[in-house]
Amino acid sequence: MLSQFDYVKPLVLDQALDALSREGDTYILAGGTDLLISLRHNLIDAKHIVDIKAIPELDVFHFEEGKGLEIGANVVVNRLIDSDLIKTRYKALHDAASVLASYQLRNRATLVGNLCNASPGADLPPPLLIYDARVKIASSEGERTVDLKDFFTGVKKTQLAKNELVVSVLLPDPGQNDKSCYHRQTRLKGHDLSTVGVACRIDGQGKAAIGINAVAVTPLRLTALENELNARGLNEESILWASEEIKNHIKPISDVRSSREYRLHMAGVLFRRCMNQLMDKEA
Amino acid sequence: MTHSELEHCTYQAHGDYKSSYKHVGQPYVRKDAVEKVTGQARYAFDLELPGMLHAKTLHSPHARARIVSIDTSRAKALVGVKAVITGEDSDITVGLYMQDKLAIATGETRYQGEVVAAVTATTEAIAEKAISLIEVEYEVLEPVRNLDDALEAKTLVHEDIAEIKHVEGVFFPQPDSNIASLNKSRKGDLDKGMAEADLVVENEFTLPAVAHVPLETHVSIVQADPYSNRIRIWSSAQSPFALRQLMAHSFGVKESDIEVHIPFVGGAFGGKAGIHLEPLVTLLSRASGGAPVKLRMTREQEFNYLPTRAGMRGRIKTGVKKDGTMVASDIVYDWDSGAYADYGVNVGKTAVYGGLGPYDVDNVSIVSKTIYTNKVFSTAYRGFGHLETLWTVERQMDILSQKLGIDPYEFRMKNILRPGSTTVTGERVTRSTGCPADCLSAVVKEIGWTGRKSEEERAREWKTGKVRGKGFAMIQKAPAMPPNTATAVVMQMAGDGHVKIMIGAIDYGQGALTSIAQIAAQELDLPMDMIEVIKETNTETNPYDWNTVASKYTFMGGNATIQASRRMLDQMKDIAGQALRCSPEVLTHGDGYIYNKHRPERRIAYKDMALGYAYPDGNGIGGPLIAHGICMADGLTNLDPETGQGLPALAWTFGAHAVDIEVDVESGDITVLKVASAFDLGQVINERMVYGQVMGGVMQGIGSAILEGYKFSDDNVLLNPSFTDNKIPTFKDMPVEVVPIYIENPQLNGPYGARGVAEHTMISIPSAIGNALYDALGINFYHLPLTPENVALGIASGKKDVK
Amino acid sequence: MTTHDDKDICAMETAHVESQKRRVILSCRVNGQAVVEEIDPTMLLLHFLRDKLKLFGAKEACGEGECGACTVILNGQAVASCLVLAVEAQGGEVLTVEGLARDGELSILQQEFVFEDALQCGFCTPGMLMSARALLDRSPDPTDEEIMEGMGGNLCRCTGYQQIFNAVKRAAKREREELKRS
């Protein structure tokens, strides 16, 4: 690590936002599982580290019936797994959290951090996308909220400006008749990044939503495919059709982790497995 | 032998193993467990010396390049930096068998990851900063990418290949080529054999380079005395005496000028067997006024800079008769050995006698080429080439049995080495050699083999999305070592009767500290808490051992320990004979006493002779009890350079694995449900540790089978230099069940009949899984690793042979 | 080596003063004992434990959080200490492998590791013990899946994991019985 930085741990959000506005080369520290790797490999030159873990409003983990769930920037991934609410109401998110990295990393890694890192293969975005997640962003100039699907702009790129901080993620209440799941392919049974991961949801109106990672420069919500599938109605035939059609809606590449062919192949397989699992629950 | 005859096959498995000895075979807790569970064990990684400087290295990003210039001025100017060196500062060459490498690259670099500069500084942070200030200008050149490039020889990795100093008569570098060594063996008349065959089958198999991945990366601390030739080394290494010898040779000093200390070692698997960081760190210490200098590899450097297991291509042509008799075997092994010969060239050589498999074939030709390419070089790796050659041979055996329509178990049993057979080098097999047939029968029985799956069964299972399959493969390995390999132990007794043993080998988890103590306890009839093997091995005080490799230490160190124990008993009997006024011949020993056979009450305790014996009036006789034991590998010979005939093998440990797997036909995921592993190890010395070797080796084998492999870009840059993309198996990748089976046909010149078993447990797991994949899917795979992707795309291709 | 001119020395002194300004006093408890040290905020928790406190049990085997060899327990949670800044332990509690045994007596967990031969080279062992400790603290009667999940982030190249798994399972049972945990 060549960076030489000072470290502050503000107790109020405004101080953190001030630091982001004021100083160049300032980085936010929450879980640190991505930041410290960037520091180790000298991908960034940090002069100031702002630890946000003492800011109480970032600890929010609040659900209101009818309104939805707010997950603050400090909420770690293991918390998502331990939450019965997430397990019952946002199952795909529970599935994805359960396979992210390893236990000790999940004690530190945060949901918001996973989003801000914006890896195309990140596990948490697909479930959040199918639940129409929104991202609350703050800066010393004020607050704004954007749809998660607009948040990612490229490989490891988001629309966050240098002086902005993600405060929380908002998930609408899907209601009681909603179901979802997340399946992903990895190279081994142990901890791994996703070769390709698919999140599917059937909402209270019987409409499907599909999220996917590692097949484009950002995680995707496959709206066009959903529309075509929902127009046909959900049945064994249409799901089979969609599991082939999905290949026309994604543009995976070959990289060190996997070939394009295998990602195309598994996108279809995982989609079908997700949907069959959700449909079986119905029957 | 038919399947029903398997019912009569018996064996001891892990759960029911019992030894008939008091100490040998017992599952004693390992002697260094407490230090390791309390965090007290000190590895080279942890060591600090007073005045120690920290070193960092700069590595070439190109597979092949000319170094145009290196500007170190800014690095040198940084406060806290004590030395900066480049190839200009050294002409030290290094090499175990071929002196083809410079301690630090000079003029050109031959692989991406090779060191071009190094610094020492008062802190690691300053050293890291200094590295970032060094500017290197490269002229990037076309690399020799792979085997085919290399054999075409348009470009030579080593222009001076004809001049490289090497061990003559053993390795044969080919002038004007990239062949570091061409080795061969021949038996019988190959052409005649092929002509007799009813069926000739030819195939090609490949597997990539893999990393050892010891949890402790390579670490060396060197203090080069500025006032003499003395060089002190503390290293995470396997072979202190080899290091001493190689350092002395490279630096042109006496062996007694080199002092090597090995603390606890955090894993090695062959990757730390030779000489690695030590010459570079010695140069750094010299450049730093003789201060002790510590260099620790990061994990990325471990993957990129330190050597690997070689990638390999095996081309095998086998002639068989309709009844299953193998009549001819023609094998060519091409080892993609990277930029330097290191230990890799010996792996290549070993393939000519290890590379046939445990089969009796009358007409054989094996050609093995160790080939230079511009990538990270290869070295010794658990199995020393046998996993690679048996991937070729055991898959071929399965394919032959498929084509002949003979059960693969029957087919192997028809050709397997039995007493009276000869190996490919002309070694005669006897009962003392070990029994591969017993191993195969045991695992085939344990896995519940009832023959190949039928097409109907397969089609039925396929509909569920998951198909089961069973497969098995043979293992054989003998230590690959010079015919005059020797070891010694020294045993001393303290005044309270406690015995301390010094060995020249290292215990890096395989259990030498404990197994040697057990053998001594057995010989001396002392409890285990009265015997200790000294934990740190150093070349100043400990007796010589060649290298801690080759699964030979139990055999050789064990024999040496038996000899030392008996000599100590003789010394005690000599003293006791005087004190008890009788001939030493009427004395025997037991329970810590030397006593008269006829009148056991006439006895003297060991401890009363440990420092000499004192009569009641004060007279002293004898002296401190010190005994040494040696073991020389006797009767071994070099191999004839043309025919490969000779006696290279100290001990053949035969074995077999059988696996039962489940394959997800869409994702290609393989779940290993059961592994049965049998080894004819002659005699279990410590059952708990053999169990540990089996579990660990099987897991490492699964890694090679379905997960691991280096990936290179078109420019031969390593694409997976970290755990992110260079994975090893985890807890969740364990097979559901592993059954270790111990076959004990004693080797008559082994300690209590024991052979070695350490590397063997990993060998042939990939072959067994490949064979099980055929049973499951009806598809033959030829290339490792059998990743979910490769299996799934193989299935999706519709081909029966995924080449 | 080149000599420095006044401008270089001035720059170095400035850099030194700047680095002093960044330093923080870290005050925390490690293995139950109070610790107060002045550190540079760039220091990792792993290096603080090893280089400052000379607690060499936790190891750096990858520096990226992928291998688990650096696992310690921070404020009751198992963490990869190579990805934690030392200063994040401010006011907190750290437990390392050196804190498991009491008065020279191995803990039950350590005893079971020894008995089950859950180690060979031993380099991954401190990390394994800490992941196991954290697991048993939150789950005194863990299912097999919970053991796999709790230990899954720790790599071992030597043992093949089965003996470690067995040791954790046996330790859980003994702790429940002998320490009356539930």
Domain co-membership, A124 together with A146? yes
pLDDT of residue B273: 96
Position A19 confidence tier, pLDDT thresholds 50, 70, 90: very high
Test C80 with A101 for CB contact under 8 angstroms: no
From chain C, pick out residues whose CB is under 8 angstroms from the CB of A101: 65, 153
pLDDT of residue B485: 96
Domain co-membership, A245 together with A266? yes
Our CA dihedral for B128, B132, B134, B137, rounded to 10 degrees, sits at 140
Q: Is the pLDDT of residue B4 over 70?
A: no
A262 inside 8 A of chain B by CB:
yes
Domain co-membership, A15 together with A93? no
Identify whether the C-beta of residue B509 lies closer than 8 Å to the C-beta of residue C120. Answer: yes
From chain C, pick out residues whose CB is under 8 angstroms from the CB of B38: 57, 97-98, 100-101, 106, 110
**C120 vs chain B: nearest CA distance in angstroms?**
4
Test C22 with A40 for CB contact under 8 angstroms: no
Identify whether the C-beta of residue B742 lies closer than 8 Å to the C-beta of residue B682. Answer: no
Q: What percent of chain B has pLDDT over 90?
A: 96
Domain co-membership, A201 together with A237? yes
pLDDT digits (tens, 9 = 90+) for B574-595: 999 999 999 999 999 999 999 9
Position C1 confidence tier, pLDDT thresholds 50, 70, 90: very low
Position C13 confidence tier, pLDDT thresholds 50, 70, 90: confident
Domain co-membership, A33 together with A72? no
A223 inside 8 A of chain C by CB:
no
pLDDT of residue C20: 83
B729 inside 8 A of chain A by CB:
yes
Our CA dihedral for A144, A149, A150, A152, rounded to 10 degrees, sits at 110
Q: What is the ipTM of this complex?
A: 0.96
Q: Is the pLDDT of residue B715 over 60?
A: yes
Identify whether the C-beta of residue B559 lies closer than 8 Å to the C-beta of residue B545. Answer: no
Test B729 with A195 for CB contact under 8 angstroms: no
For the record, the structure tokens of A48 come out as 């100031």
Domain co-membership, A195 together with A153? no
The last residue of a domain, from among A172, A188, A207: A172
Q: Which chains have at least 3 CB atom pairs separated by less than 8 Å from chain A?
A: B, C
Domain co-membership, A100 together with A35? no
The last residue of a domain, from among A151, A172, A193: A172
Test C80 with A1 for CB contact under 8 angstroms: no
Q: What percent of chain A has pLDDT over 70?
A: 99
Neighbours of A264 (CB within 10 A): 18
**C96 vs chain A: nearest CA distance in angstroms?**
14
Residue A37 is assigned to a structural domain of this protein: yes
Domain co-membership, A129 together with A196? no
Partner residue facing B728 (CB), from C59, C120, C157: C157
Residue A1 is assigned to a structural domain of this protein: no
Average pLDDT of span B142-171: 96
From chain B, pick out residues whose CB is under 8 angstroms from the CB of C4: 77, 79
C43 inside 8 A of chain A by CB:
no
pLDDT digits (tens, 9 = 90+) for B513-563: 999 999 999 999 999 999 999 998 999 999 999 999 999 999 999 999 999
Phi-psi region of A68 (alpha: psi -120 to 50; beta: other; left: phi over 0): left
Neighbours of A56 (CB within 10 A): 11
Question: Which residues share a beta bridge with B420?
Answer: none
Complete DSSP assignment for B310-342: PEEEEEEEEEE-TTS-EEEEEEEEEEE--S--T
For the record, the structure tokens of B437 come out as 């047939």
Handedness of CA A46, A48, A53, A55 (dihedral sign): negative
Range of the domain at A142: 56-172
A266 inside 8 A of chain B by CB:
yes
Residue B193 CA to residue B354 CA, distance in Å, equals 20
| Strand C33-39 versus strand C24-30 pairing type | antiparallel
Test B39 with C163 for CB contact under 8 angstroms: no
Partner residue facing B724 (CB), from A193, A259, A266: A193
- How distant, in Å, are the alpha carbons of B244, B248, B249, B258 from that of B253? 10, 5, 7, 8
**B666 vs chain A: nearest CA distance in angstroms?**
7
Test A105 with C82 for CB contact under 8 angstroms: no
Position A282 confidence tier, pLDDT thresholds 50, 70, 90: very low
CA angle B591, B537, B523 (to 5 degrees): 20
pLDDT of residue C12: 72
| Strand A6-8 versus strand A48-51 pairing type | parallel
Our CA dihedral for B382, B386, B388, B391, rounded to 10 degrees, sits at -130
The last residue of a domain, from among A14, A31, A51: A51
Residue A246 is assigned to a structural domain of this protein: yes
- Reported pTM: 0.97
CATH number at residue A219: 3.30.390.50
Position B1 confidence tier, pLDDT thresholds 50, 70, 90: very low
**B719 vs chain A: nearest CA distance in angstroms?**
7
Test A2 with B132 for CB contact under 8 angstroms: yes
Interface test with C, best of B36, B82, B264, B296 (most C CBs within 10 A): B36
Position A281 confidence tier, pLDDT thresholds 50, 70, 90: low
Residue B381 CA to residue B263 CA, distance in Å, equals 21
pLDDT of residue B289: 98
Residue A186 is assigned to a structural domain of this protein: yes
Position B642 confidence tier, pLDDT thresholds 50, 70, 90: confident
Q: What percent of chain A has pLDDT over 90?
A: 97
Residue A168 is assigned to a structural domain of this protein: yes
Test A40 with C63 for CB contact under 8 angstroms: yes
Q: Report the amino acid identity of residue C150.
A: G
Q: Which chains have at least 3 CB atom pairs separated by less than 8 Å from chain B?
A: A, C
Residue A118 is assigned to a structural domain of this protein: yes
Average pLDDT of span A40-49: 96
Test A1 with B719 for CB contact under 8 angstroms: no
Domain co-membership, A190 together with A157? no
Listed residue (B585, B581, B515) closest to B554, CA to CA: B515
Instruction: Nearest chain A residue to C26 by CA: give it.
Output: A7
Q: Is the pLDDT of residue C2 over 70?
A: no
Partner residue facing A49 (CB), from C41, C78, C79: C41
C67 Cα distance to chain centroid: 12
Partner residue facing B128 (CB), from A2, A188, A192: A2
CATH number at residue A29: 3.30.43.10
Test A7 with C82 for CB contact under 8 angstroms: no
pLDDT of residue B3: 62
Name the least confident of B94-98, B607-611, C50-54.
B94-98
Partner residue facing B699 (CB), from C64, C119, C161: C161
Q: What percent of chain B has pLDDT over 70?
A: 99
pLDDT digits (tens, 9 = 90+) for B203-252: 999 999 999 999 999 999 999 999 999 999 999 999 999 999 999 999 99
Average pLDDT of span C137-143: 97
CATH number at residue A61: 3.30.465.10
Position B6 confidence tier, pLDDT thresholds 50, 70, 90: confident
Test B214 with C123 for CB contact under 8 angstroms: yes
Domain co-membership, A165 together with A66? yes
Query: How does the average pLDDT of chain A come out, rounded?
Result: 97
Q: Which residues of chain C from 122 to 181 reach within 8 Å of chain B, CB to CB?
A: 122-126, 129, 147-148, 151-152, 154-165
Domain co-membership, A167 together with A191? no
Query: How does the average pLDDT of chain C come out, rounded?
Result: 94
pLDDT of residue C17: 81
Residue A210 is assigned to a structural domain of this protein: yes
Partner residue facing A265 (CB), from B719, B732, B792: B792
Query: How does the average pLDDT of chain B come out, rounded?
Result: 96
Instruction: Nearest chain B residue to A195 by CA: give it.
Output: B789
> How many helical (H) and strand (E) elements, i.e. helices and strands, does chain C have?
6, 5
Q: Which of C20 and B679 is assigned the larger pLDDT?
A: B679
pLDDT of residue B240: 98
B122 inside 8 A of chain A by CB:
no
Domain co-membership, A275 together with A222? yes
**A74 vs chain B: nearest CA distance in angstroms?**
25
Neighbours of B638 (CB within 10 A): 13
Question: How many separate domains does chain A show?
Answer: 3
